């Protein structure tokens, strides 16, 4: 692992163009779905995964909605999403189409620690990707999900969208919280009594992010630092489509949709990439 980290770091310094992980379903979602399903059958699994974070009880992020994905090939994959209203959720476009694998339907999982059982579970195949989404660069990596109405509760609630002064903020230097249904390390298994995970991440400038990922970073990209002190932090495999939110005026406000990370893995200390929600507000509002 140390040798791999060294190679990845040298590649980033030499090329300033760290490759991002593409073709999500075959490289991440399908194996993650199989791993999570088996763990739920074998143990009292309660959770989700994120790098460098901590457990969060169900309801801590009531807008986090799990996605169990049925692919056109018949395979199963997993992602996350954010509840925007009783009938709409926002996710990453690559959860629906990753450039090689097309989803046929989503099952949205509300208010549950388990991905394959429990909670309120709503199937849908009504998904609209951004028309300028590019699966090769993951630019414009957003998609809107429409579903039958789900009532709010203490563990199911919509997230706020940016408004007012936040619409003009780049959030650089701000601390935000990510939550998701991914891994807690590159080699993680799933343990008993593992609850949903979350982590605080500091937003960095796009210029700083471009030092790692080069031209992949565009104005509608938002990035967070991959290190907090001496430990790596960030999103990981399976977190795709999930929320990055800041606290403002007593509310959680969605500022990012989990989009990409380094092809070298989650624990190399590289930034995590998100679709910048403020860049897509007209597109989002037109579909609510």
> Known catalytic residues?
94, 141, 240
Residue identified by tokens 């002064």 is 165
From the list 266, 237, 235, the residue with the least C-alpha distance to 53 is: 235
CA distance 269 to 34: 27
CA distance 60 to 152: 14
CA distance 286 to 107: 23
Q: Is the CB of residue 95 less than 8 Å from the CB of residue 103?
A: yes
CA distance 219 to 190: 36
Q: Is the CB of residue 127 less than 8 Å from the CB of residue 147?
A: no
CA distance 286 to 248: 24
* Radius of gyration of the chain from its Cα atoms, rounded to whole angstroms: 17
CA distance 8 to 270: 10
User: Residue 18 — φ and ψ, nearest 5°?
Assistant: -65, 125
CA distance 281 to 219: 14
From the list 68, 33, 60, the residue with the least C-alpha distance to 196 is: 60
Token pair, residue 241, equals 């489509």
CA distance 105 to 13: 41
CA distance 24 to 260: 9
């Amino acid at each position: 692992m140390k040798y791999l980290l060294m190679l990845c770091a040298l590649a980033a310094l030499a090329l300033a163009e760290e490759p991002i992980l593409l073709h999500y379903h075959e490289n991440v979602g399908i194996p993650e779905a199989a791993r999570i399903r088996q763990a739920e059958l074998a143990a009292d699994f309660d959770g989700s995964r994120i790098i460098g974070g901590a457990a969060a009880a169900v309801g801590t992020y009531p807008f986090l909605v799990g996605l169990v994905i049925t692919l056109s090939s018949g395979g199963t994959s997993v992602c996350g999403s954010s509840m925007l209203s009783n009938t709409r959720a926002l996710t990453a476009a690559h959860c629906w189409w990753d450039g090689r694998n097309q989803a046929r339907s989503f099952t949205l999982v509300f208010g549950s620690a388990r991905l394959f059982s429990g909670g309120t579970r709503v199937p849908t195949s009504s998904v609209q990707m951004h028309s300028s989404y590019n699966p090769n660069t993951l630019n414009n990596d957003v998609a809107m999900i429409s579903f039958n109405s789900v009532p709010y509760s203490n563990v199911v609630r919509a997230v706020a969208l940016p408004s007012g002064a936040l619409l003009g903020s780049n959030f650089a230097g701000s601390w935000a919280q990510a939550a998701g249904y991914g891994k807690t390390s590159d080699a993680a298994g799933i343990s008993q009594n593992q609850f949903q995970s979350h982590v605080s991440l500091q937003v960095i400038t796009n210029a700083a992010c471009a030092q790692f990922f080069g031209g992949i970073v565009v104005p509608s990209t938002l990035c967070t630092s991959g290190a907090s002190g001496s430990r790596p932090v960030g999103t990981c495999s399976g977190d795709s489509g999930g929320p990055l939110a800041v606290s403002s005026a007593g509310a959680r406000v969605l500022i990012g949709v989990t989009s990409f990370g380094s092809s070298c893995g989650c624990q190399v200390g590289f930034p995590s990439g998100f679709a910048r929600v403020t860049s897509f507000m007209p597109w989002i509002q037109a579909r609510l």
